[in-house]
Amino acid sequence: MKKLILFVLVSCTLNLYSQTKEEKQKILNSFDNEAKSTVSFINERETEINNQIKELLLKGYPEEIVSNGKLFKLRRVTLNNTPIYFTLDNADAAESTRTNFLHTGGGLGLNINGENMNIATWDGGPTLVTHNEFQSGGSSRIVTPDASSSNDQSLHSTHVSGTIVAQGLNIQAKGMAPEAFLKSFDWDNDESEVLNEALNEALLISNHSYGVPIFNSDGGMNVPTWYPGCYNSDARAWDVISAAAPYYLMVASAGNEGSATYSGGLANGYDKLTGNKVSKNNLVVANAQDAFINPNGSGDLLGTLFINSSSSQGPTDDGRVKPDITGNGTGVFSTSNTSNSTYATLTGTSMSAPNVSGSLLLLQQYYNTVYSNYMKAATLKGLACHTADDAGNAGPDPIFGWGLLNSKLAAETIENSNIDTNAIISELNLQQGSDYNLTVFTDGIENLKATIVWTDPAGTAKDGQLNSPVAALVNDLDIRILDLSGNTYLPYKLNLSNVAGAATKGDNTVDNVEQVEIEFPIAGEYEIQISHKGNIQGGSQDYSLIVTGITDYLNTKDVEFQNTLIRLWPNPAKETINLSSDSSVDLTDWNINLYDLQGRLIIKNIKSQQIDISTLNSGVYVLDFKNGNQSFQKKVIKE
């Protein structure tokens, strides 16, 4: 009997109408020559795959199989010439992820609904573009450039598309981005089509709910034991695409095999992610039950969040956090293909993925209204993971990832990073042999949390290797937080020797998402340090930094300014501290105040160049300097 590997797929869609031409061009101008070589690589890879498929067809393997009403289509071939077949794998959803808070009338006053935004999906059949929920101004907001003409299975793609962009004629079916445009592709040539959309149309987000199922319809193993969790050639190819298009984020469903078990994995009940779900740079989505959100308008998650038992678990073989995040894909009410006015209720990670991808599109829209540009994919991924509601074990875990998407908190973090100093969203670059230091201050009320994310270069594929712990990571960046007492706080990491246990804290050598969190921090000053191990491929690495739980911060440029232009001595001191400045700086233009480490104002509006501290208790204080948009702090020690 011929051995068949079934490749489960589900996805979504976008329209030709896009962000403005100017906004798109800003993204397109950022691409370098690496993008051109990536096009060649993906085209050659696709040609090789298609040739392999043709050879199998000549040997008598069927191109399509219909089993239990599902279509399976031959789309991949393994190293030992085993065929892989693709198959098709919300009001409550928007409320669970707090995406409704961004909508018009949603509570934040943002009126963000996906206007003029684009998203794309790849699926096994066409979306019913004529559905009433997709109409606007006499035409559909959805186009299907390459809709399949055979074995129409459009219920799935129509439902997924509605979860993203349904306008809400039936309010229970309102999509995450109800005014966005959606372009719906079939799954043939998905890699080259995605790359074309990213490099030529400035595509920001696409939705993919597909993967290779571990088990066949009889419950037996449908893939080699090495396949689950392996960073194989498919996973690597999607990282190649991500590296070439740094603004593009692939959102993928985790899969629906959470209740099944097999022998040979990392641990019983874990290690069930396959193919592109093992990539480093995408965002893989688990499926939770409906969340109970506080009805008082705070958007707080109440009670325990439960995973849907069908949601596939990670981690990857090298111990990375996958899935990355959780959405709500349980009992999602959305558009159906039966007619232009019908709906259906479906469950699965196929539904949680569009719940997340549509929500992220709104965060991109809002960020652009604030900063007049879009987030890089690493920034968007980092923001989603940083602001997620922790669920399951404390910290990240291989069931929920970093937790349940919280669009409200993510939007508030964008706002706070722009108008206040209690949040940071920065896109930075780390040069070979360098590091980055950032001084932050906290009042101790909220957890101090700092996250770095980077689009890592594609690693070495490990096809055929069982549970290889060798990291797929190429550039190993590190983040640490230090306090004034000399304590060093390390990032979360999963423990391969205890996959089911809670995350530990230590040196993370596998993830390109690193987060340090200090619970109940002592009020005062902390230093965030970002560095790297070994050599950085290419000599430098772009990365994104998100920080919350702070009251103020002092970056490297501020440090250079204060150290060279404003001087303070003696320090430590017993009686008096002297201030002096470069001739280019007039201290009378600055508002200078002295605070203790609890943030209490001790001396206000200092104008003298001599500060009397004789009556203060011994300890550490902070001298705060502000002049318009410029601000920095100097630590003062009273002996």
> Percentage of the chain with pLDDT > 90?
67
d(CA 78, CA 274): 13
What's the pLDDT tens digit per position in 190-211?
A: 999 999 999 999 999 999 987 7
Mean pLDDT of the chain: 89
What is the SS3 assignment for 450-473? EEEECCCCCCCCCCCCCCCCCCCC
Contact call for residues 202 and 156 (beta carbons, < 8 A):
no
Average pLDDT over residues 10-35: 66
Contact call for residues 310 and 8 (beta carbons, < 8 A):
no
Q: Which pair of structure tokens corresponds to residue 523?
A: 């009020």
Name the more confident of 69 and 316: 316
> For position 34, what pLDDT does the model report?
74
Residue type present at position 112: I
Q: Is the pLDDT of residue 5 over 70?
A: no
**Cis omega (within 30 of 0) for bond into 323:** yes
**Cis omega (within 30 of 0) for bond into 396:** no
Q: Cα(first)–Cα(last) distance of the chain, in Å? A: 83
Contacts of 52 (CB under 8 A, 6+ apart): 77, 81
What's the pLDDT tens digit per position in 128-137?
A: 999 999 999 9
> For position 561, what pLDDT does the model report?
47
> For position 83, what pLDDT does the model report?
77
503 vs 120, 377, 394, 493, 494, CA distance in Å? Answer: 34, 25, 7, 6, 5
Residue 404 φ/ψ, nearest 5 degrees: -85, 130
CB burial of residue 20 (10 Å; 0-12, 13-18, 19+): exposed
Q: Is the pLDDT of residue 14 over 70?
A: no
d(CA 585, CA 83): 71
Contact call for residues 212 and 227 (beta carbons, < 8 A):
yes
Q: Is the pLDDT of residue 539 over 50?
A: yes
Taking the whole predicted model, whether its pTM rises above 0.85 is answered as no
3-state DSSP assignment of residue 485: coil
d(CA 186, CA 458): 25
Q: Which pair of structure tokens corresponds to residue 301?
A: 């998650």
3-state DSSP assignment of residue 257: coil
CA atoms within 13 A on the CB side of 369: 17
> For position 188, what pLDDT does the model report?
84
Across 76-90, 236-250, 543-557, 579-593, least confident range? 76-90
List the strands of the sheet with 64-67, edge to edge: 5-9, 83-88, 70-77, 64-67
Residue type present at position 428: L
Q: Is domain 557-638 given the CATH code 2.60.40.1270 in the classification? A: yes
> For position 565, what pLDDT does the model report?
65
Closest of 190, 163, 193, 191 to residue 178, by C-alpha: 163
What is the SS3 assignment for 135-153? EECCEECEECCCCCCCCCC
CATH of domain 421-554: 2.60.120.380
Confidence grade of residue 90 (pLDDT, cut at 50, 70, 90): low
> For position 220, what pLDDT does the model report?
78
CATH of domain 12-33+89-209+231-416: 3.40.50.200
Confidence grade of residue 64 (pLDDT, cut at 50, 70, 90): confident
Contact call for residues 205 and 390 (beta carbons, < 8 A):
no
Confidence grade of residue 361 (pLDDT, cut at 50, 70, 90): very high
> For position 619, what pLDDT does the model report?
85
What's the pLDDT tens digit per position in 177-195?
A: 999 999 999 888 899 999 9
3-state DSSP assignment of residue 512: coil
d(CA 367, CA 384): 13
Residue with tokens 């040196």: 507
**Cis omega (within 30 of 0) for bond into 572:** yes
Residue with tokens 């009378």: 588
Q: Is the pLDDT of residue 88 over 60?
A: no
List the strands of the sheet with 576-581, edge to edge: 566-569, 576-581, 610-612
Average pLDDT over residues 311-317: 98
> Percentage of the chain with pLDDT > 70?
91
3-state DSSP assignment of residue 534: coil
| Domain limits, the chain | 12-33+89-209+231-416, 421-554, 557-638
Contact call for residues 270 and 261 (beta carbons, < 8 A):
no
Residues in the chain: 639
Name the more confident of 440 and 77: 440
What's the pLDDT tens digit per position in 494-534?
A: 999 999 999 999 999 999 999 999 999 999 999 999 999 99
Across 10-24, 36-50, 183-197, 579-593, least confident range? 10-24
Q: How many other CB atoms are there within 10 angstroms of residue 145's CB atom?
A: 15
Average pLDDT over residues 409-428: 93
Contacts of 635 (CB under 8 A, 6+ apart): 484, 525, 571, 620, 621, 622, 623
Average pLDDT over residues 621-631: 78
3-state DSSP assignment of residue 59: coil
What's the pLDDT tens digit per position in 263-301?
A: 999 999 999 999 999 999 999 999 999 999 998 999 999
Containing 243, the helix (H) or strand (E) segment is helix 233-244
Q: Which pair of structure tokens corresponds to residue 399?
A: 């069931």
Q: How many other CB atoms are there within 10 angstroms of residue 112's CB atom?
A: 25
What's the pLDDT tens digit per position in 117-165?
A: 999 999 877 899 999 999 999 999 999 998 755 446 589 999 999 999 9
**DSSP per-residue codes, 325-390:** EEEE-SSEEEE-SSSTT-EEEE-SHHHHHHHHHHHHHHHHHHHHHHHSSPPPHHHHHHHHHHHSBP
> For position 3, what pLDDT does the model report?
35
Closest of 468, 456, 566 to residue 226, by C-alpha: 468
